[in-house]
Amino acid sequence: MRNISQDSIQVATLRTEDVEQVTADGTKATIAATAFDIDRDVTFAATTCGGKILIWKTAGRRLRSPEESSFCFCGSYATPDTRIVSLRVLAEASRLALVTRSGDIVVWELGESENFNSDADLVGAVETGILAASWSPDDAFIALATDENVVLMNSMFDVLSEVPLETAEFGEDAPINVGWGSKDTQFHGSIGRSHLKTPEKINGQQESVDDDGLPRITWRGDGAYFAVSTRSSRHSSPRVVRVYSHEGRLQSTSEPVPGLEASIAWRPNGSLIASTQFDIRSGPQDTYRKGNHYVVFFERNGLRHGEFSLRRPLTSNETFYRIKDLLWSPDSAILAVWIEHTKGDTLQLWTCGNYHWKVLPKAIVVLTLDNEINRYLKQEICPQEACRFTTVAWHPEHSWELVLTTHSQLVVRTFAWDTCAGASDTGCVGVVDGDHILLTPFRTQNVPPPMSSYRLPVRAQYVADDTSPPLLRSTPSHISLSPFNDILGAVWGDGHIVIWSLRTRVGPGTGKVMDPVLLWTKDLGNENGPWRQVQVSILDADAKERKLQVVVLGSTKQGFDLVSVHEVLLSNTEEQPRTAENHRIVELPGKDGRLIQGLESLTSVWQSREGEIFRVDTQGELPLCNFPEFCFSGVSFTVHGQRLFVGLSSSGKLYCTMEGLKLAELANNGNSFTVASGFVVFTTSTHEVHFAPVAMLVDHLTNRSLAENDPLKSNQAATNTWERRRVERGSRIVTVVPSTMSLVLQMPRGNLETINPRPLVLEVVKNDLEAGRWQKAFLACRKHRISLSVIVEHNEEAFMTGVSQFVEQIQQVDYINLFLTNIGRSELPAKTISNVCDAIRLELQTKDLSKYVNSILTAYVVKTPPDYEAGLALLLHLRDLQPEQVEDAVKYIIFLVDANKLFDTALGMYDFSLVLLVAQHAQKDPREYLPFLRELRALPSHYQRFRIDDYLQRYEKALRNLHLAGPTYFQEALDYIERHQLYEAGLEIWKATEQYSVVLGAYGSWLFDRREYRQAALVFVEASDLRRAMVAHERALEWQELFQLSAKEAFPEDEVKEIAYRIAGELLSKKRYSEAARVFIDYAGDNCQAVTALVQGNEISEARRIVSLYGPPELLQEVIMPGALDAKAQFTEDLSEMREQLRKQLGRLRELRIKKVQEPDSFYGTEQASMHNIDVMTDISMAPTAFTRYTVAPTTTSKASKRSSKTKRKMERKVGSGRKGTVDEEEYILKSVTKLVARCGVMQAEVKKLLPHLLHFSELHRSEACIVQEDMESFEKELRDSIEEIWKSPSTAENQAQDSWTNRMLAKEKERLIDPLERVSKPVMEGSDWAIRMLRTKTSVPTTVGSPGRQLKCG
């Protein structure tokens, strides 16, 4: 569904004065060959003149105007026979090789300055002459054909192989024929096999009359094989094609094809060998092919593989028409057919898609392939100033660039694909096919190519006195459909313009799909250059007089672009003639530009080759905006009063920009785009279609920071919010039809696919919802499987207001049920779902209860939470009013809800008739429910409800019904409470009754068994069961309440002491020393045990007070003073342990941080970039990755992929355990140091309480006080220094001195894991005054016990 349009044309003229500077007669110089130097971007041309071959060079693709000298002389070679067989640039050897018909092989050395470093060097000669020559694609070999032999040479012109040109052998790939399928083995009916003996009458003429008899050579794209087309020396023998390997061995020979011509070209991808055939056969079965030319294909094994006709049969014997050459484009997409005929030369470009051949454009005839019968002829053109081409060649690097030469000109033509899509309301697309334009309105019909809805003839539109050759005048160079009118325009290269009104039928009907009417024609003439683009539109279509505006883009003789603008006033009907016409021509400042299509109005906007965008109506102004590069496909449209431009370049980059703003790059791999329904829709080479909202693009362009110079980076955030979907590989956009919410895509093989993307559907749905077209929006969502909750989400307030109109438009019960079901299953808030269901239910009940009973039941069921009881109550109400509808209603609600759930709901309503109704229609087995119902019917009312609620597991409600059944069921109720743990509900039910205390006792016992002793004690006190309350208080270690209750109960003194010793022992086990001492003193009267408990808790001050108050004094010497020394020893041991832990962890931290800088690979576990392309891993090894440090295992044993929940919990507990080598080791050490600081603070407080007593007890105690204080101060200082070292922030100078790779790794680590120093805050050590200054004085202390000879000094 695409056409070929001319992208650019460049002409270089070999002037006579340039030739005369080299040779005497410059008028006889003719360009005979071209060669391309891709590395230097130079094109060499060889001319023949007066026994010399002159070599010229041009500036590659940067050609100058015809008035300037574009050719520069490089060298010459004199030879009596100036016919050139081959001219080739050998890139690796940096040489230019020339092969002549006389047999000379000449080379020139190429320099860096694009000039020859040497004169012509004759490296070899063939005495018999060279008839054909062809280089392999990689320039490694050259194949030559002489009168008798095929010679294969390497790039140094050493002969590798020489074989005869004609041979009777088939080749190494000769097939083995066992006779299967031959005529001899087939059934011949009653005639038998006798007719096989009759010789078949064969036309004696087997060769083409236009055959020049010369051989042709062509190479396959990979250089592995080459084919030679030769004519047999025997009279009337057809040509044959022989395939040789790159070693010169014959592989296969083609089957005989009568009329086979000399042209041959091997498709670069290697699939087919193309040649041409002139139909010379005659006979009743072949008369329809008489005089036709065909392109025929061969496989490498010599077998035929299809054909197609060139559509140009001979009309008379005097007409000359022959195929001169075939050429494949480098990407194998286009086959160029060079045709010579009586009126001049024509070049046809054929492409293949979906098994249908079609011809392409301009100097070129272009066709496309979809089957063997239908073909597309896109364009046909001929040389403008000369009647013949001298050479035709494809550029070896740019696939769509064709280089043509005439007698004195070198023409470079570039082409591009173009889709002709029209107004959105019809979705019409046009395709050029020779003298017809194929039109298909995709709104009403989706006709696959090569078929179409309508074939519009264009030949009949010419005037009667038109004398131009029909071959030239049949195909327009460009066609265009108006983006907002049903108008088609076509322009020919010679200036003819034809405009039609298509009058496409949009609605349903049986008439023509369209009825085109000719609106206007014009002949601009060919005084200027070729005309290559047209845009057309009708303005003010609703007025009495309509204005037709036509804009045509062409070129002047100097190559500059010009625009011809025509405004024609038309009548309000096509039958009436036009009333007035206005015409103006605007010259533009550049060459090879392109008009940009306006989607709202035909505003003339032109894009230069540099991407700058200008208004056509005004001259001399600055550009409106610009693209970074030239975009062949571009559109413009207005959004909120601002003009937005979108363009797609040949590199696949899709840009959008606005006047006065920076551009944004939407994609860098796009291959097609269009604008419709408020979206920029584009496909990419990753096989996705994107929908970029236009409003978002405008907001992005206007609001983004001007400092963002990278268009792609600045647009990434917006790109991630666009909707996209996968499409078939290689899909391209044909058109978008907003009214049908469809996007038409064409696959690479040519077939069409229509999809309905969600963004396009939602856009139409939103418009319908805002206009109140509820039914249309509903049907669109239903058809395209869009959640119906969109109808509510779009504007909930408007929907709730328009519920009555919604129900009135939908009406059908099934549609309303579908809507309610979708709402119930949606992700809307529960309150919104309930409000919508209730609103629709109330509206339906008001309209017609009997009609919408199913919808009302649906509203009850799907709301959140569902109201099954209300639905069943509606059935009871309906049973009384309309019994005939109850059965269907019950069946419907059973369809919506599980039958067992409905059965339980009906049973919970205590209505046995409703239960039976549900059970019967749910097809439940009566043996399952009837005995149960009979049993329930026999029970008293409240006990019956208790049984029902218990069956439905409504335990609290069942307990209340059991209470209402009477006091005789209290014991059963108490058991029911204990069974279902309904204690709180039971307390509420039996409050202020005689059974209340019984329930309290049961509740307290349950709490006691659960070891909730404090709660149990409170319950027992509430129940006045003080004995059990005391037991609970004792278990909870609540000794104050315990002894309070014992005093209240007047327990004997012995029992109180027993209780005191028992609970004090429990307090000591919980390290509650002060409380245990208080119990010993107050309730046991044991001062010794009390002092011992206080000493154990380092409460020496309190112990000394108790001794001084209650005695006896001996406790000071026997308990307190030894206990103080024991406490000091314990503190010294704890400090040693803390110091050892600190030093180990600080050393490990130092190792980790050194390793982080010196061995980042080992620390971060990252790969080396230089090792990415090296594969030396075994099947049991793996490269370290960025996640290796997170998964270090203690062993290499593999573990099962499935783990139990217990194992998973165990693994979770290991996280943060600080195992050596794991990623969380550093963080674990920091947390451990933080805990050590807190422990040090506690230790300071304990030492502070101990030191005063050690100072005053004895000299031994004083010396121990000095030791513990000095030890504590030393550890405190060491801990402070360690904290400062650990939490020291690295300086800026150190970071800058580190290797940049290390800095990048540190940044990468921060992305994966926050630095442990940031996760663990620095601990603060409080500087509390805990030490005794007196102990710091320098005094001599006696030797301590157990350390003979040790001299301790305080301070």
The per-residue pLDDT for range 974-1000, each reduced to its tens digit, is: 999 999 989 898 888 888 888 888 888
At 871, give phi and psi (nearest 5°).
Answer: -65, -40
Supply the pLDDT for residue 257. 87
Both tokens of 122, joined, read 């004759």
User: Could you tell me the two tokens for 520?
Assistant: 């206007």
CB atoms within 10 A of CB 412: 21
CA 1146 to chain centroid? 49
pLDDT, position 463: 45
Instruction: Let me know: does 291 contact 280? Beta carbons within 8 Å.
Output: no
First to last CA, the chain: 100
DSSP output for 321-389: EEEEEEEE-TTS-EEEEEEEETTEEEEEEEEESSS-EEEE-SSS-EE-BSSSS-BEE---B--SSSS--
Q: What is the pLDDT of residue 1107?
A: 83
To which residue do tokens 């011509």 refer?
261
* Tokens coding 509: 């009907």
User: Quick check: helix, strand or coil at residue 632?
Assistant: coil
Taking every pair of C-alpha atoms in the chain, what is the biggest distance, in angstroms? Answer: 150
Burial class (CB in 10 A: 0-12, 13-18, 19+), 1108: exposed
Per-residue CA distances from 1063 to 1033, 1034, 1069, 1072, 1079 (Å): 10, 7, 10, 11, 8
Tokens standing for residue 467: 């004398």
In whole angstroms, what is the distance from residue 379 CA to residue 363 CA? 8
* DSSP tally for the chain: helices H, then strands E: 39, 59
Could you please report the per-residue DSSP string of 1125-1141? HHHHHHHHHHHHHHHHH
Which region, left, alpha or beta, applies to residue 467 given φ > 0 means left and ψ of -120 to 50 means alpha? alpha
- Amino acid letter, residue 598: G
Two tokens at 1004?
A: 């307290």
Tell me the residue type at 650. S
Q: What is the pLDDT of residue 603?
A: 75
Neighbours of 1089 (CB within 10 A): 21
Contacts of 585 (CB under 8 A, 6+ apart): 562, 563, 564, 565
What separation in angstroms does the CA of 310 have from each of 339, 379, 440? Answer: 10, 13, 25
Name 1170's Cβ contacts closer than 8 Å, sequence gap at least 6. Answer: none
Question: What's the pLDDT score for residue 1124?
Answer: 82
Give the dihedral sign, CA 717/723/724/725.
positive
Per this entry, what is the length of the chain?
A: 1355
Q: What is the chain's Cα-based Rg?
A: 50
* 3-state secondary structure at position 839: helix
d(CA 1230, CA 947): 62
pLDDT at position 470: 43
Quick one: which H or E segment has residue 8? strand 3-13
Identity (one letter) of the amino acid at 440?
T
pLDDT of 1157 reads 75
SS (H, E, C) 1017-1055: HHHHHHCCCHHHHHHHHHHCCCHHHHHHHHHHCCCCHHH
Q: What is the DSSP letter of 1159?
A: -
CA distance 220 to 265: 9
Separation between Cα atoms, residue 1025 and residue 83, nearest integer Å: 129
- Residues paired with 381 in a beta bridge: 347
pLDDT in the model for residue 619: 63
Q: How far apart are CA 673 and CA 386, in angstroms?
A: 39
CA dist 61 and 10 (Å) reads: 8
- Residue 1351 is predicted with a pLDDT of 31
Which pLDDT does position 508 carry in this prediction?
Answer: 80
Spatial distance between the Cα atoms of 259 and 239, rounded to a whole number of angstroms: 8
Q: What is the pLDDT of residue 1127?
A: 84
3-class secondary structure for 210-239?
CCCCCCEEEECCCCCEEEEEECCCCCCCCC
Contact of 323 with 339, CB cutoff 8 Å? yes
**Beta strands in 714-794, from DSSP E residues, in sequence order:** 723-726, 732-737, 742-746, 752-755
Cα dihedral 992, 995, 999, 1002 sign? positive
- State the Cα–Cα distance between residues 521 and 566, nearest whole angstrom: 11
DSSP 59: -
With a cut of 50, list the residues of the chain below it in pLDDT. 200-205, 282-289, 314-316, 361-375, 463-465, 467-472, 705-708, 710-714, 717, 1166-1202, 1215, 1291-1299, 1311, 1313, 1338-1355
Task: Give me 729's structure tokens.
Answer: 């590989």
CB 326 within 8 A of CB 265: yes
Backbone angles phi, psi at 809, to 5 degrees: -80, -35
